[in-house]
Amino acid sequence: MKRITFSALLTVSLLTGCSLSEDEPCTLLDAKSEVSLLWRAADFGAADAATLRLCVGKVCEQRRSGDLDRPFSSLSVPLPDADGPGPVPVRLTVTTTADGKEIVTDSAEATLEEQNPNGKRCDPTAWTATFRAEPTGLTDPKGLSLK
């Protein structure tokens, strides 16, 4: 019976990414370094009325503002070479979908926060920052209701 119990525990430990020899077990959660942008489509008019473009350094991602029925939309710019808190330059440009007219331009320096989803002693380590896009520019996402 002891042998069966030990085998079962070993199997469960290996499947969950736990190590029997370490003080702190490692899980298998993934994380990527990135700068993220959140916004409400309603802040930019009708559905898909605007295109939001976020650049971090020379790398950019863009997306239409989205459906008014969704509480918020988002996009992320990957940071494959991030290895510390930065800072990294961030630039937001919002244009109207109809004619491409710039309606918001803003920039900031992002200080990246260390993320260790599997614990400090386990891989991966990701560096992230999050901004909110508003008609006035880039702001802190705190207080953004998900309703």
- How far are the Cα atoms of 18, 19, 33, 75, 80 from residue 116, in angstroms, in the given order? 16, 17, 11, 21, 16
Give the residue from 23, 66, 61 showing the smallest Cα distance to 48: 66
Q: What mean pLDDT value characterizes the chain? A: 85
Give residue 111's pLDDT.
94
Q: Where in the chain are the domains?
A: 1-28, 31-139
Please tell me the least confidently modeled range out of 7-16, 80-89, 110-119: 7-16
Distance CA 102, CA 94 (A): 6
The CATH number of the structural domain formed by 31-139 is 2.60.40
Confidence of residue 56 (pLDDT cuts 50, 70, 90): very high
Residue 141 has pLDDT above 50, yes or no: yes
Task: List the beta strands (DSSP E) in 28-120.
Answer: 34-39, 50-56, 59-64, 73-78, 88-96, 102-110, 113-115
